[in-house]
Structure 1
Amino acid sequence: MNFANSPKVEDLLRRVRSFMDEHIVPRQRQWLEEVHAGQYPVSFMEDLKARAKAEGLWNLFLPHLKDGEPGTRLTNLEYAPLAEVMGRVSWASEVFNCNAPDTGNMELLHMFATPAQREAWLEPLLEGTIRSAFAMTEPDVSSSDATNITTSIRRDGDDYVINGRKWFITNAAHPNCKLFIVMGKTDPDAESHRQQSMVLVPAGTPGVTIVRNITVMNHVSPEGHCEITFKNVRVPAANLLGEEGSGFALAQARLGPGRIHHCMRSIGAAELALELMVERAVERKSFGKFLHQHGTVGEWIAKSRIEIDQARLFVLKAAWLLDEVGAKAARKEISMIKALVPQVYSTVCDRAMQVFGAMGLSPDTPLADHWTWARALRYADGPDEVHLQAIARMEIAHGKERLGSTAAYLNIPPRD
């Protein structure tokens, strides 16, 4: 494994940093003011997107771009440092058309869409002219295990009819959200992992109702984390994504890159939190000493540096594995970073907030917003506990294969 940036990535990294410094960071306050005033999308987003596209900083996340598709073809490992820079500002990835959940939906459509589906949905998503949502999670079941979902997708002649309730559906409140990729059960009697399918549901289809935009830690996200009902929603059978019964496999293909992208961005946000903490610690005094001269604060800074660097290296390893062997073979490492990185992100933000005192709770720093999202990431794409259980199962299975191999290391006296 070699994690050194190639000259190509170094050039892109310089350009992304320059774009962030010149066009995105100076607009953070304006973004907050417009969003809090109820203006969303913000007035300058389309201009920034057009500028990023013109500068070749577009669709950086997708390794398998085809000739003619807009964007820069990068591996997951190459994309990692760029996503880290984007993660420093919560809304920055949208400017580069690298924002969730659109990235995961583009991955799905890129791999499994028919030519007609590609023309209708993938091409406008790659161009950044529409947004989309992924509707899997449900309020009435533990849908971190996708086999538990209860939404019905029933074949009726040349159509599918959808009935169910979803929630925490990101992007659903965005005015430009034109597509829902809905996961439900087409055959409840099939083997548990072959019951699910995905269908493409255009926004505005009769029977689709956005019930509410659910707040996260009492924080309103303008793009929405919505509760949605599907009541006798009818779409053509041609809107099936992939094959009937392939929904679970499609979800796993989608979530692998999605999870690692969240972790890449989180490293950048945690790095920013540490930088803010250090600056505050060297400028602010309490009880006659600079904050960093108090032992606790110095320890927080040191621990944060260690934890971020450990997490970054682990994310780069997972990205390398994803490139080399694919999401299925790298599933343990992806689960490991998904359980680790949000914890690091949350902890570093919490320390930085404490160093800033009451100011850390205010909108005068980005820390409170980053901490809120870090906490939410411990649920997104599977809660910590599910990933830890999956890791444990894989370790135990590996241990059973090697059962008895540690006997030589035991110092047990022989029995009579």
Structure 2
Amino acid sequence: MNFDYTPKVQALREKLLAFFDEHIYPNEHAFYAEIAQNRQDGNAWQPTQLIEELKQKARNAGLWNLFLPDSVRGAGLSNLEYAPLCEIMGRVPWAPEVFNCNAPDTGNMETIERYGSEENKREWLEPLLQGHIRSAFLMTEPEVASSDATNIQTSIVRDGDYYVINGHKWWSSGAGDPRCKIYIVMGKTDPDAPRHQQQSMILVPADATGITVRRPLSVFGYDDAPHGHMEITLENVRVPAANMLLGEGRGFEIAQGRLGPGRIHHCMRLIGLAERALELMCKRSLQRVAFGKPVAMQGVTQERIAEARCMIEQARLLTLKTAYMMDTVGNKSARGEIAMIKVVAPNMACQVIDWAIQAHGAGGISDDFPLAYAYASARTLRFADGPDEVHRNAIAKLELARYMEPGAAARVETPVTRV
């Protein structure tokens, strides 16, 4: 495995780093101030003018749609090449949207690109790639433990040239944005089919009759406006049969294809977030004096700084290995590594950010610094795209399969899960 940057990636890294220095870091407080003003004006959900202005600058700089491996619609980068760029974008939680590389849109675009019809791509993928609209992924449900996706109860029933959808979803990330025009909905088309052939995924326009956005869900007190994580009901929602992705009963197949890249993108961004936290921790601890010497000279601080550096480097190497395997042997063969990094990266980031908060003193839990929101964001990712416990079970089963009889080992499954 060779993790050296290609000349193309090195040039893009330099552009991204310069863009952050010029446009992202100086506008961190301005972004949240604009949302606060929108909230005060009675509409926290309207898109920020700052983001829209920065998007055009990013496009002009050639920093747009850097994901989508193996596609002529993207930048032509592999997962391994995209990793260091995604890491930089993750240093500020709202920054990925500036480059049209934000969740859940990247995962949804990859899904439509891989599994949608040409008409689906024309109607929904192209506007998403242009940044004209946004999207949401509706999988998780409040009535069941969605960590086991076979529990999902939303029904998708064929009626002539249409499907009729009824269900109750929540944690529908991105659905609060008024530009969100398309949902990818996972539900059951055949409850009597074999366990992993009951589910399907279908494209549902956000303005379809019967859809009600009930409320935004807060995350540690943050509403994540204008992105939002919404609770949604679908009551007799009718969509054309052509909106079915890949075919009935193939929802798990699509989910495995979608969640692999989605999970590793989260991990890439988390490494960037942890790097930023460590940087802020070092700078702040050098500035503050306690008990007669800088906080940075206190033994406990140095212990944490050293441990943070070790943890970040370990997580980065595992992420790069996973990206390399996804590129060379495919997502299915890399499922163990994908599960491992999805456990390692969020836990690592939570710990590093927590130490950085401690080094900042009480200011660390305020919004004067970006750490409190960073921690809230990182902590959610121990649930999103599957909780730690499910991924650990999958890792253990793959490990045990190495010592089982061949027939028994072949039956070991990797679960599909989101929240």
**TM-score of the pair, normalised by structure 2:** 0.94
Q: Give the whole-Å Cα distance in 2 for the aligned partners of 1:208 and 1:317.
A: 42
4+ runs deviating over 4 angstroms: none
Q: Give the whole-Å Cα distance in 2 for the aligned partners of 1:61 and 1:398.
A: 34
TM superposition shift of 1:47:
2.0
Q: Give the whole-Å Cα distance in 2 for the aligned partners of 1:98 and 1:8.
A: 18
Matched, 1:106 2:109: yes
Q: Which residue of 2 aligns with 1:300?
A: 304
SS in 1 for 2:86: helix
Matched, 1:115 2:121: no
TM superposition shift of 1:399:
2.1
Structure 2: unaligned runs, 5 residues or longer? 407-419
Paired residue for 1:58, among 61, 64, 67? Answer: 64
Structure 2 counterpart of 1:78, which letter? Answer: E
Paired residue for 2:174, among 148, 171, 183? Answer: 171
Matched, 1:2 2:2: yes
Matched, 1:230 2:234: yes
Structure 1: unaligned runs, 5 residues or longer? 403-416
Paired residue for 1:399, among 376, 387, 403? Answer: 403
Q: Give the whole-Å Cα distance in 2 for the aligned partners of 1:399 and 1:346.
A: 34
Q: Which residue of 2 aligns with 1:11?
A: 11
Q: Which residue of 1 aligns with 2:332?
A: 328
Q: Which residue of 1 aligns with 2:145?
A: 142
Identity of aligned residues (%): 56
Q: Which residue of 2 aligns with 1:413?
A: none
Is the 1:273–1:352 contact (alpha carbons within 8 Å) kept by the matching residues of 2?
A: yes
Q: Give the whole-Å Cα distance in 2 for the aligned partners of 1:280 and 1:199.
A: 49
**For residues 279 and 401 of structure 1, do their structure 2 counterparts lie closer, same or farther at Cα, with a shift above 3 Å needed?**
farther
TM superposition shift of 1:164:
0.6
Deviations 1:95-134 (A, max 9, x none): 1110000000011111111111110001111111100001
SS in 2 for 1:265: helix
Q: Give the whole-Å Cα distance in 2 for the aligned partners of 1:144 and 1:208.
A: 24
Structure 1 range deviating more: 258-267 or 37-46: 37-46
Q: Which residue of 2 aligns with 1:351?
A: 355
SS in 2 for 1:328: coil
Structure 1 counterpart of 2:2, which letter? Answer: N
Q: Give the whole-Å Cα distance in 1 for the aligned partners of 2:53 and 2:280.
A: 29
Q: Which residue of 1 aligns with 2:287?
A: 283
Is the 1:134–1:181 contact (alpha carbons within 8 Å) kept by the matching residues of 2?
A: yes
TM superposition shift of 1:144:
1.8
Paired residue for 1:240, among 237, 244, 265? Answer: 244
Matched, 1:125 2:131: no
Structure 1 range deviating more: 146-155 or 38-47: 38-47
Structure 1 counterpart of 2:56, which letter? Answer: A
Q: Give the whole-Å Cα distance in 2 for the aligned partners of 1:373 and 1:89.
A: 11
Deviations 1:200-224 (A, max 9, x none): 1101111100111000112111111
Structure 1 range deviating more: 218-227 or 329-338: 218-227
Q: Which residue of 2 aligns with 1:412?
A: none
SS in 2 for 1:231: strand
Is the 1:147–1:248 contact (alpha carbons within 8 Å) kept by the matching residues of 2?
A: no
Aligned counterparts, 1:80-95, within 5 A:
80-95=83-98
SS in 2 for 1:197: strand
Structure 1 counterpart of 2:60, which letter? Answer: A
Aligned length: 399
Paired residue for 1:156, among 156, 159, 164? Answer: 159
Q: Give the whole-Å Cα distance in 1 for the aligned partners of 2:293 and 2:79.
A: 45
Structure 1 counterpart of 2:159, which letter? Answer: D
SS in 1 for 2:125: helix
Q: Give the whole-Å Cα distance in 2 for the aligned partners of 1:73 and 1:57.
A: 12
Q: Which residue of 2 aligns with 1:77?
A: 80
Matched, 1:340 2:344: yes
Aligned counterparts, 1:350-369, within 5 A:
350-369=354-373
Q: Give the whole-Å Cα distance in 2 for the aligned partners of 1:397 and 1:2.
A: 29
SS in 2 for 1:233: strand
TM superposition shift of 1:401:
5.0
TM superposition shift of 1:6:
1.1
SS in 1 for 2:403: helix
Q: Which residue of 2 aligns with 1:45?
A: 51
Is the 1:198–1:240 contact (alpha carbons within 8 Å) kept by the matching residues of 2?
A: yes
SS in 1 for 2:212: strand
SS in 1 for 2:332: helix
Q: Which residue of 2 aligns with 1:255?
A: 259
Structure 1 range deviating more: 274-283 or 32-41: 32-41
Q: Which residue of 1 aligns with 2:33?
A: 33
TM superposition shift of 1:400:
2.1
TM superposition shift of 1:293:
1.8
TM superposition shift of 1:157:
1.3
SS in 2 for 1:326: coil
SS in 1 for 2:313: helix
Deviations 1:318-339 (A, max 9, x none): 0100101111110000000000
SS in 2 for 1:206: coil
Structure 1 range deviating more: 381-390 or 237-246: 237-246
SS in 1 for 2:150: helix
* Bigger-Rg structure (1/2): 1
Matched, 1:315 2:315: no
SS in 1 for 2:330: helix
Structure 1 range deviating more: 217-226 or 183-192: 217-226
Q: Give the whole-Å Cα distance in 1 for the aligned partners of 2:319 and 2:397.
A: 21
Is the 1:353–1:368 contact (alpha carbons within 8 Å) kept by the matching residues of 2?
A: yes
SS in 2 for 1:27: helix
TM superposition shift of 1:41:
1.1
Is the 1:56–1:72 contact (alpha carbons within 8 Å) kept by the matching residues of 2?
A: no
Matched, 1:268 2:272: yes
RMSD over aligned Cα atoms: 1.0
Q: Give the whole-Å Cα distance in 1 for the aligned partners of 2:117 and 2:262.
A: 22
Deviations 1:245-280 (A, max 9, x none): 111110111000000000000000000100111111
Q: Which residue of 2 aligns with 1:201?
A: 204
